[in-house]
Amino acid sequence: MKVIVCGAGQVGFNIAKQLATEHNDVTVIDHSAELIRKIGDTLDVQGMVGHASHPDVLERAGASDADMIIAVTQNDEVNMVACQVAHSLFNLPMKVARIRTQTYLQKQWLNLFSRDHLPIDVIISPEVEVGRAVLRRLAMPGAFEASPFADDRVMLIGTLLEENCPVVNTPLRQLNDLFPDLNIIIAGVVRDGKLFVPRGDSQMRVGDQAFFITAQENVRRALDIFGHEEKPARRVIILGAGNIGMFVAKELEQKHSAVRVKIIEYHKERAEAAADLLSGTVVLHGDALDLEILREANVAETEAIVAVTDDDEVNILSSVLAKQGGCQRAIALINNPGYGPLMRSLGIDVFVDPRAMTVSKILQHVRRGRIRGLYSLYNGAAEVLEAEALETATVIGKPLNQAEIPRGVMIGAIVRGDQVIVPRGDTIILTGDRVVILALADMVKKVEQMFRVSLEYF
């Protein structure tokens, strides 16, 4: 596949890295010579200095015979115009754009992106995705990861195994005997910084990060069995009244009226605007790193703090201060992936990485086969995919224990109509089933082949 990536920032770099690893023909465009030099020195891609929306630049990048353009520059308008030029002048078939400004995404204006106007096939909005991720973490305390599949009927949950976890040191094949109503598949485990797919005789240990797949209605019971009996927060402080903070606050106001929300915003104008737009939320103007402001917000009686300012360091330090001040849980927005390994030692319960979410959404449209959902896990060490089983899929019509599923691949759930099936060895995948699978990075191509579609290409 020939792909043009517009923007060599963190998202563009990681998309290009993933695509190049899979032997695609990738060209990256950015107006920064330094970023292009870095990406050219690091990855097996072609780098080009220029403005991504200029026709001559796109022509030199090979737009006339490219399969996809992925526009993820820092400027929404550049991303939109790049897609328009790619469509109008080069008839490029698949156009993906990151759009962060929420005004463009309001329902009354969505016709803007139709084929007759600005023809963008896939719109990625990191702020909305991050906001939804934060809301899922608030609703599922004890989970540091919570990603939906199959129209929210299936969840991938990541949880930390602590001393009080009753399932540690137990072979996984015995879990269903000990907990008959567990109904989950433990698809991946992170131990000592490495993610692996467990086997039936594997045992989990204290300190492991376990990723399990289950039906939405089983999540709370499963987390209880893993030793996480925390209740959803009823008192929440949001740090930052930007797009993400406002999205979370509005959703909590509209759908969770019993939750008491306060926002702390550093910029006076933004704080005043937030106060005008929110009816049931207390808005405080001040510095999230100011202990007096945190005390004024009653951080000691707060169950969760959500730090979503546009500054990673502020998010980290304010979360630490809030936890020291008595707040029970901290959720922090982190753009720099280098900070990820520090979060647990700092006492931050959950960190949300918008880069990983954006990469996951884009890869969903790069994968071959009937891939309807995708989430990139643990810095790309694995992917969780939702695949549709068509007649040409090699896994249908035979028991899973006879389907030659390779090591490093775990089938976590099968959705058949309204039914979510927890797969066992004698389970048979049927045509039309939606299958949620965890695959280590080097096994993703095998999964694509298992669900390949004859005479179709995605």
What pairs with residue 440 in β-bridges?
Answer: 382
Whether residue 357 is contained in a domain is answered as no
- Predicted local distance difference test score (pLDDT) of residue 14: 87
Q: Is the pLDDT of residue 359 over 90?
A: no
Whether residue 358 is contained in a domain is answered as no
Quickly state the pLDDT bin for 364 (edges 50, 70, 90).
confident
Q: How far is Cα 384 from Cα 360, in angstroms, rounded to an integer? A: 9
- Predicted local distance difference test score (pLDDT) of residue 336: 86
Whether residue 458 is contained in a domain is answered as no
Helix-then-strand count for the chain, H and E: 13, 22
Mean pLDDT value across residues 231-259: 94
Same domain as 220, residue 240: no
Q: Render 170-216 in DSSP notation, one character per residue.
A: SBGGGHHHH-TT---EEEEEEETTEEE---TT-B--TT-EEEEEEEG
Range of the domain at 441: 367-450
What pairs with residue 238 in β-bridges?
Answer: 263, 306
Cβ–Cβ under 8 Å, residues 6 and 73: yes
Cβ–Cβ under 8 Å, residues 97 and 120: yes
pLDDT tens, position by position, 84-141 = 999 999 999 999 999 988 888 888 887 888 877 888 999 998 888 899 999 999 999 9
Q: Is the pLDDT of residue 371 over 80?
A: no
Same domain as 331, residue 256: yes
pLDDT tens, position by position, 49-81 = 999 999 999 999 999 999 999 999 999 999 999
- Predicted local distance difference test score (pLDDT) of residue 151: 92
Cβ–Cβ under 8 Å, residues 386 and 371: yes
- Predicted local distance difference test score (pLDDT) of residue 457: 36
Mean pLDDT value across residues 18-22: 85
Lowest mean per-residue pLDDT among 64-78, 281-295, 440-454? 440-454
Q: Is the pLDDT of residue 326 over 60?
A: yes
- Predicted local distance difference test score (pLDDT) of residue 453: 54
- Predicted local distance difference test score (pLDDT) of residue 456: 42
- Which of 172, 198, 225 lies at the terminal end of a domain, its last residue? 225
In this structure, the dihedral spanned by the alpha carbons of residues 441, 444, 1 and 455, taken in order and rounded to 10 degrees, is 180
Same domain as 198, residue 221: yes
Same domain as 29, residue 119: yes
Whether residue 455 is contained in a domain is answered as no
Q: How far is Cα 142 from Cα 241, in angstroms, rounded to an integer? A: 26
The residues, any chain, with a CB within 8 Å of residue 160's CB and separated by 6 or more, are: 144, 207, 208, 209, 210, 344
- Predicted local distance difference test score (pLDDT) of residue 325: 95
Cβ–Cβ under 8 Å, residues 76 and 19: no
Same domain as 343, residue 244: yes
Q: How far is Cα 356 from Cα 337, in angstroms, rounded to an integer? A: 9
337 compared with 216, residue with greater pLDDT:
216
Q: How far is Cα 136 from Cα 350, in angstroms, rounded to an integer? A: 11
Domain count, the chain: 4
Q: Is the pLDDT of residue 330 over 80?
A: yes
Same domain as 76, residue 116: yes
Helix, strand or coil for residue 134?
A: helix
Q: Is the pLDDT of residue 454 over 60?
A: no
Same domain as 346, residue 256: yes
Same domain as 151, residue 111: no
Arithmetic mean of pLDDT over the chain: 91
Whether residue 191 is contained in a domain is answered as yes
- Predicted local distance difference test score (pLDDT) of residue 204: 92
pLDDT tens, position by position, 203-243 = 999 999 999 999 999 999 999 999 998 899 999 999 999 99
Quickly state the pLDDT bin for 369 (edges 50, 70, 90).
low
Q: How far is Cα 125 from Cα 108, in angstroms, rounded to an integer? A: 17
- Predicted local distance difference test score (pLDDT) of residue 361: 84
CATH code of the domain containing 116: 3.40.50.720
Mean pLDDT value across residues 309-333: 96
Query: Which tokens go with 136?
Result: 């899922």
CATH code of the domain containing 140: 3.30.70.1450
Whether residue 273 is contained in a domain is answered as yes
Whether residue 361 is contained in a domain is answered as no
Whether residue 334 is contained in a domain is answered as yes
Query: Which tokens go with 418?
Result: 């309204």
Q: Is the pLDDT of residue 319 over 90?
A: yes
Task: Determine whether 193 is exposed, middle or buried from the number of CB atoms within 10 Å of its CB (0-12, 13-18, 19+).
Answer: exposed
Same domain as 345, residue 258: yes
Quickly state the pLDDT bin for 368 (edges 50, 70, 90).
low
Same domain as 77, residue 60: yes
- Which of 196, 225, 254 lies at the terminal end of a domain, its last residue? 225
3-state secondary structure labels for all residues of 322-376: HHHCCCCEEEEECCCHHHHHHCCCCCCCEEECHHHHHHHHHHHCCCCCCEEEEEE
Instruction: For residue 104, report the phi and psi dihedrals to the nearest 5 degrees.
Output: -60, -25
pLDDT tens, position by position, 156-191 = 999 999 998 988 998 998 887 888 878 899 999 999
- Which of 63, 92, 124 lies at the terminal end of a domain, its last residue? 124
Same domain as 239, residue 221: no
Same domain as 216, residue 193: yes
pLDDT tens, position by position, 380-439 = 899 999 988 888 888 889 999 998 899 999 999 999 999 999 999 999 999 999 999 999
Q: What's the pTM?
A: 0.86
